[in-house]
Structure 1
């Protein structure tokens, strides 16, 4: 059997697992189980639930929002592991001289963000915390390559930046952080699979989790090389990538009750604001076996 791992640029652990095929991390973990590995690159993590259901991939990872929207759309997924919290991964920025001083001041404004990603969770939760609605009180617009410039010229009120974009914006100056991500959500990478694989072949899930941790161990130990890899493939400056990657925790953790509670809170906010059509019970996305077993120890890279 070949295990197909979905890969997209927004998930750092999967990005490195894929680009380190010369080290054979996933293959080494799967071979003792009689399995081989293949990678399926795609551009939008929001599609991960659909690709799992269709059998295009067997395992994937995103930020916090896509698994919730996938559950709402009827995809029967199972959480397998999460990253440690990433409080420095992103931030909601406003111009330095902006009259927007609090989240409440965003009412009636336009905010650019990667709609459908963890950024939706950040903005929706921050607004909900002050009694505002993601659906009714701001105009949420999908970020583009022009978002930073639009923010700097005052054409939009706020912009969620992440990773090298955030590092570059801070290096340039003239912007300030309205919402530090870690003050609102934990912003974890989230890994999940189909229920059938999680419940019938848990040893494969454990092997893939070990491979992810080994990829993370490599990135933590080689930040400059990881930055060069990201800049070459995704664009941006190597120094900005190094700043962004150094801020990540590079640690894979088990699915915890705390994580599930945060996901449930997000699901409730999304449904209340109409971002998802159907209510979601996040606890249903847990394997009926040992879903919360400790992450197996990783091997040295």
Structure 2
């Protein structure tokens, strides 16, 4: 069987895994192989399951949107929370000092992505909704320049662009991100794939964890590779080797299982998006939760760490 896995610049773990040959070797050992499928834009990832992809990564907002439209996208696993990977920024010398000051403000964000959840959650803290601001659709690429020039009043900024924004000394985080929402990257598949191919999922989880270990074993090497990448909408994410290294060091690198508490959190976010009229209905997020997957994730992670402890050369030098 060929396992089709989506790869896109928004997905750090699957991006690195697609370049290292780790999963190819693991699947070959059980008579399977992998096809890495590039796709764009990132927020539409869950809709590609079935006809185009078997496994894909996505943010917390896209999967909620997909569920609202009836897409079969089960929660597989996730990164840990990444509160330092993205933030809602305002000008240091601007007029926005707290969430309540966002009333009437021009806020740029992509409505289909996790950034929308950060904006809506921040507004909710002040009892505001999207109807109280001037939303401006964004693809992230020019938001810092627009913010510094005063053409917008606030914007979520992610990845290496966040590092570069902070280093101007002219912006600040409106609130700590994890005071508002969590920021996990999720992995998803159809329920049928879980039922039919659990042995493949264990190998995928093990390979993902080995990719995490590869990154943390040499952040400089990983950052240089990512900064040199020209595929997968690389220009959209910006950054150079220095800013990529700084953001990679901020992020937790581990393959985490999905638990009941996280599903409750996702349901709260689905309700927030529905209240903000960003989705027509809030689906039952628990109906896409498969508790027994936790055992497969833990087994894959266990195998990865055992292998790494016994041989810390994750990728043979001849393949780099």
Q: Which bracket does the TM-score occupy, shorter chain normalised?
A: over 0.9
Q: Which residue number corresponds to residue 259 of structure 1?
A: 262
8 A contact 1:87–1:183 mirrored in 2 = no
Q: Distance in 1 between matches of 2:110 and 2:254?
A: 24
Greater Cα shift, 146-155 or 187-196: 146-155
For 2:126 and 2:264, how far apart are their aligned partners in 1? Answer: 20
Q: Which moved more, 1:198-207 or 1:188-197?
A: 198-207
Q: Which residue of 2 aligns with 1:36?
A: 33
Correspondent of 1:85 among 75, 81, 84 = 81
Aligned to 1:124, which of 120, 127, 133?
Answer: 120
Q: Do the aligned partners of 2:110 and 2:138 also contact (CA within 8 Å) in 1?
A: yes
Query: Deviation at 1:229?
Result: 1.4
Measured in 2, the distance between the counterparts of 1:112 and 1:82 equals 27
Structure 1: tracts of 5 or more residues without a match = none
Deviation per CA, 1:222-259: give whole Å up to 9, x if none: 21111111111224221111101110100111101121
Which one of the candidate residues 249, 273, 278 is aligned to 2:276?
Answer: 273
1:241 aligned onto 2:238: no
Aligned residues: 295
SS of 1:116's equivalent in the other structure is coil
Q: Which runs of 5+ in 2 are unaligned?
A: 309-313, 315-320
Secondary structure in 1 matching 2:294: coil
Which residue of the other structure, out of 136, 145, 157, is the alignment partner of 1:141?
A: 136
Structure 1 position 67 matched with structure 2 position 63: yes
In the TM superposition, what is the alpha-carbon distance from 1:291 to its structure 2 partner? 2.6
For residues 158 and 46 of structure 2, the distance between their equivalents in structure 1, rounded to whole angstroms, comes to 23
> Could you tell me the TM-score, scaled by structure 2's length?
0.88
Which of residues 102, 106, 123 is equivalent to 1:106?
Answer: 102
1:211 is aligned to 207
The structure richer in strand per residue is 1
- String of CA shifts for 1:42-72, please: whole Å, max 9, x gaps: 122222121104x201000112111111111
Deviations 1:77-120 (A, max 9, x none): 11110111101001111111111110111111111123222111
What CA deviation, in whole Å up to 9, does each residue of 1:254-273 have, x standing for no partner? Answer: 10112111111111111121
- Give the Cα–Cα distance (whole angstroms) in 2 for the partners of residues 140 and 210 of structure 1: 41
TM-score by length of 1: 0.94
Q: Which residue of 1 aligns with 2:318?
A: none
Name whichever of 25-34 and 68-77 sits farther off.
25-34
